[in-house]
Chains A and B, each alone.
Chain A
Amino acid sequence: MELILALAIGVLTGSGIWLLLRPRTFQVIMGLSILSYAVNLLLFAIGQLKADAVPVIAADAAKAAGDYADPVPQALVLTAIVIGFAMTALFLVVLMASRGLTGTDHVDGRKDTDL
């Protein structure tokens, strides 16, 4: 499971960065989204991967601390998702405004045909 997750994070980060460096604003926003998925997965992974472990401690259950999942990364990833979502929406608005003002979706607003 660790290997699959690590590969997933790596592939997502790689594709995110590649898209980020493209000259079209749509590719940039896709790159940013994919990069933020990779970061969210990484945040999730720092709590260690465990199956069947609950984050909320029950009052009566006599389990050791290691039997519970770490709740902090889950809270972090939730916050990160919300913020990332809002920022992507905001970037989308600016992207549309730029498209409207310059008539092109090049990041610098240039109308180059050789890109």
Chain B
Amino acid sequence: MSKVHTEKEPLFHITKREDLPIWSKAGIRIAAVALAILLCMILSYILIGINPLKMLGSMISGSFGTKRRIWKFLKDLSVLLCISLAVTPAFRMKFWNIGAEGQALIGALASVACIIGLGGKIPNALLLIIMFVSSVVIGAIWGVIPALCKALWNTNETLFTLMMNYIATFIVSYFLMIWTPSGSSTLGMLNFGYLPKLGHEYLLLILVVAVLTIGLYIYLNYSKHGYEISVVGESQKTALYIGINVKKVIIRTMVISGALCGLAGFLIVSALDHSVTTATIGGQGFTAIMVSWLGKFNPIYMALTSFLITFLDQGASQISTDFNIDSAFPSVIVGIIIFFIIGCEFFIYYKINFRHKAVKEAK
């Protein structure tokens, strides 16, 4: 009897785990990252012949080697975290806003347009306010169009927001051609609309993002709006049953998400770039999706995951300068490590039960 049973039982079956204690969750994740870095070191030793230890050293020095690098690290972390925070409210209600790239870019464009139109004609403080408002408003508009269609006709938001990214990119290149009569399409650094500097030039940006992180954490976890978002994300039917206006929540949340993306665009223009190109956001709108998902849509964890991603990114580019390898190498390394991190989530939430174990239990 039991023999027949063993033959029919599959090799293993998968069950959901009980909630793991926090230290073993962290352990699995750290192990995955360590394993991934080890694999990358072996791969680059075989492919290019880099000494693995030197590689690790160069990775760390890339982020923390000098005072300048630490500031740059914090700056990149803040920008990435800001965009990641922006997409999080939407993700919490399972609205897949993968249009952060476009929403932030169009926000940056709005700020630049204000500078070009009004720069030098009005006081700087007033200009900054106008820039801020227009960036936030246009970011919100860019985000709310897909949300309206989702609320009214249940249009697929993933595909819609994805398309909106490219429309934003082409609109930016259109305006760049208009603004540069020479046809070079590169706008130099503009002279107006600079955010004031507090001590270090990046300090204000970092502080703004820190405040935003805490603010969003409170909004999502301790406010009525945050609760409604979670319920809509869990089950739209439950939300309807307890009297939440689902359409309103979807639209309101995407206004917030888009507006925060627009804010990121404003910060990039007024505090860092003072200009705009089609590569101003540089794919961070997509990286933000990974940061947010890996951070379990929790702003505090997301600060950690964006720390990790920024560290990997800067470390890998330091490797490519130190060892004079092709500049595409970093994205290969970061890609491999991200695959490991994505994959390890499985072992946190699921358990693999092998056959012989199950049979013993049956006996």
A, B from the same assembly:
no
